[in-house]
């Protein structure tokens, strides 16, 4: 499985910031060791196996790892992503505090989903990447809730399939993969899938986390966005904490190609405002900037949970930049959508001269809550 798509977009120079320990890039493909998956000890350690073990070819290289569950709600392997609490090389929970990376970070792992494994109905695993507070204590988990099903209920009824949704809770008492309120999706093909968490500032100082699944052709299967207005960057939210199979009830679950990228491209835009407003002609999207440097322009994207795999651009071409390093620009666009009783997520992307893309938002327009629509910051359904 070729990982160049994920790696190249993060091989950039990162801006330093006062009081922030920049998170070093981390890679673990289990070819020679389990470093980074050995910091919590015992059952939390990864176990290396050779490609072909159990009939599974490694996602990349000649080795991968496996986690073998022992029963209901059994916890599995965990990683510090090479730098617990944003401190490179720090091994455990006694590490010093860490602040959020200046331009966000991404974590990724490949997991093998065996649809034909003969699993019992409602066999589950939860995969989470968590973030801490500035003092180093735990803040919040962002969880892929997954399960195997062969029953006649819910998404994909009547077929052998995995069902996934996303939440901030793990374990059987905390979340249910088929929960219709969490936009569940079906995976019915055996193979390697990439599970990614992208942690970033939404442009207004609030943490936004995109949880995405890709298939082995690097095609997006689905994306969820979780955000809470109380998760304020460097106030209540700090640095990386861990990646963890919070539960694994499968006989053995294979995983491979785990990595963290500690930097996104340097900002080319400082956003001043980003708003949406329902009108007779559709949804009016407005934004303004404080300054722009090497900015080519913008894209506006719309995402509707349950209808789209992920955000889709409203225009084919980039909207040309108007701002400079000395002054910002003012922009607006009308999305001709007319859809009562829907919840629409809007994103803004700026594109610089080097091809780097930075995403702001989402701003959520909830047309269920009034005749004119209620605009609110992104908030996960908890």
pTM comes to 0.74
Contact of 285 with 327, CB cutoff 8 Å: no
Residue 16: pLDDT band (50, 70, 90) is very low
Confidence (pLDDT) at 23: 53
24 band by pLDDT with thresholds 50, 70 and 90: low
Q: What is the pLDDT of residue 348?
A: 93
Answer yes or no: is pLDDT of 373 > 60: no
pLDDT band of residue 42 (cuts 50, 70, 90) is confident
Half-sphere exposure (Cβ direction) of 164: Cα atoms closer than 13 Å: 23
Element (H, E) at 126: strand 123-132
For the chain, domains (ranges, CATH) are: 4-261 (2.60.120), 269-377 (2.60.40.10)
**What does the alpha-carbon distance between residue 28 and residue 80 come to, in Å, rounded to a whole number?**
11
- Per-residue CA distances from 226 to 37, 194, 199 (Å): 26, 18, 10
Six-digit token pair at 122? Answer: 């409602």
pLDDT tens track for 194-205 = 999 999 888 788
CA distance 253 to 287: 45
Task: For 130-142, write each residue's pLDDT tens digit.
Answer: 999 988 789 999 9
pLDDT tens, 336-366? Answer: 987 677 889 999 999 888 787 888 888 988 8
Label residue 289 by pLDDT band (50, 70, 90).
Answer: very high
Instruction: Say if strands 63-67 and 47-50 run parallel, antiparallel, or are unpaired.
Output: antiparallel
Distance CA 180, CA 154 (A): 8
Taking the C-alpha atoms of residue 93 and residue 39, their distance in angstroms, rounded to an integer, is: 10
The pLDDT of residue 71 is 74
245 exposed, middle or buried (CB, 10 Å; 0-12, 13-18, 19+)?
buried
Q: What is the pLDDT of residue 31?
A: 97
Indicate whether 48 pLDDT > 90. Answer: yes
CA distance 150 to 120: 8
pLDDT for 10: 28
Quick: pLDDT tens for 102-112: 778 899 999 99
């Amino acid at each position: 499985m070729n990982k160049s798509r994920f790696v190249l977009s993060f091989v950039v120079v990162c801006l330093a910031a006062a009081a922030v320990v920049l998170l070093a890039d981390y890679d673990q493909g289990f070819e020679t060791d389990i470093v980074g998956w050995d910091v919590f000890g015992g059952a939390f350690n990864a176990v290396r196996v050779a490609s072909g073990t159990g009939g599974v070819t490694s996602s990349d290289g000649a080795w991968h790892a496996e986690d073998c569950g022992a029963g209901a709600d059994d916890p599995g392997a965990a990683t510090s992503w090479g730098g617990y609490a944003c401190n490179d090389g720090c091994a455990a929970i006694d590490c010093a505090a860490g602040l959020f990376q200046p331009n966000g970070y991404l974590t990724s792992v490949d997991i093998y989903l065996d649809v034909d494994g003969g699993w019992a109905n409602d066999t589950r695993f939860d995969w989470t990447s968590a973030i801490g507070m500035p003092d180093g204590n735990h803040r919040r988990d962002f969880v892929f809730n997954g399960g195997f099903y062969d029953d006649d209920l819910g998404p994909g009824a009547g077929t052998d399939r995995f069902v996934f949704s996303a939440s901030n809770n793990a374990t059987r008492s905390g979340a249910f993969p088929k929960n219709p309120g969490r936009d569940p999706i079906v995976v019915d093909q055996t193979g390697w899938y990439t599970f990614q968490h992208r942690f970033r500032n939404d442009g207004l100082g609030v943490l936004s986390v995109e949880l995405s699944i890709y298939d082995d052709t690097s095609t997006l299967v689905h994306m969820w966005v979780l955000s809470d207005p109380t998760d304020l960057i460097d106030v209540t939210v700090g640095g990386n904490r861990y990646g963890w199979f919070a539960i694994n009830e499968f006989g053995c679950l294979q995983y491979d190609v785990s990595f963290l990228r500690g930097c996104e491209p340097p900002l080319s835009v400082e956003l001043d405002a980003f708003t949406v407003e329902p009108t007779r002609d559709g949804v009016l999207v407005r934004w303004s900037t404080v300054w722009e440097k090497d900015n080519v322009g913008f894209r506006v994207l719309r995402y509707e949970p349950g209808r789209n795999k992920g955000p889709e651009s409203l225009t084919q071409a980039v909207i040309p930049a108007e701002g400079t390093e000395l002054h910002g620009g003012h922009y607006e666009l009308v999305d001709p959508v007319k859809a009562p009783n829907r919840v629409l997520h809007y994103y803004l992307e700026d594109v610089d001269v080097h091809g780097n893309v930075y995403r702001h938002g989402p701003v959520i327009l909830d047309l269920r809550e009034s005749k004119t629509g209620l605009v609110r910051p992104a908030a996960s359904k908890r």
